Each structure stands twice: as C-alpha cells, then as structure tokens.
Amino acid sequence: MVTAPVQVKKCDYRGANPKKQEDARAWNLAALKIEEWINQAIQAQQQEIHIYKYEEIAKNTGYPLKMVRDICFIIDCGGTGFIAIRP
C-alpha cells in the first residue's frame, strides 16, 4: 500500500540519439502528468483505502494503458493497479 506523494518511473536517457532524446522527453512528460493525477486523486480520496486500477488512470489521463502500466508499475508492483491509503 502507498500514500501520497507517489513517484513514478522516469526515463534518464542522456545519449546523443535525437530520436531517443525525444522519446525520453515524451515519456517524462507523460510520467509527470500521470504522477500529478495520481497524487491529486490520493489527496482527494474519501475512503481510507482505495484501489487505483491502471485502466482508470489511463482513462482519466488520456495515455495508453500499456504506457500507464509501464510508468506506474514501480509504485506498488501490481499487475493491474495499486492500493493507496488516504494521507
């Protein structure tokens, strides 16, 4: 179980390949927006414990499910989501 603030996986590519640099920037922008949404949702949650599914996060942020799953897996290593405790 987790509580806010939650941190998600970021890409730390520092090479010279412009394509990989752009991919890393896009990934990190998505990670930042997903992280912000998750932390706001946890802060606003009314229940003591809430299960956040990756599908719910993808739907609310507009990012593909696979990307959300890859970015968020580090939070609680859940296959379909994670459990958060109200702060």
Chain segment 12-70, per-residue pLDDT in tens = 998 999 999 999 999 999 999 999 999 999 999 999 999 999 999 999 999 999 999 99
pLDDT per residue as tens digits for the range 26-36: 999 999 999 99
Q: Given this model, what pLDDT does residue 84 score?
A: 94
3-state helix, strand, coil in the chain (%, to 5): 55, 15, 35
pTM over 0.75: yes
Residue 32 lies in a domain: yes
Please tell me the predicted confidence (pLDDT) of residue 79. 86
Range of the domain at 22: 18-85
Instruction: Enter the tokens of residue 53.
Output: 């599914």
**How many structural domains is the chain composed of?**
1
Q: Where would I find the beta strands (DSSP E) of the chain?
A: 49-53, 81-85
| Whole-number Å distance between alpha carbons of 24 and 12 | 7
Is 10 within a domain? no
Examine residue 4 and state whether it is found in any structural domain, yes or no.
no
Q: Is residue 43 part of a domain?
A: yes
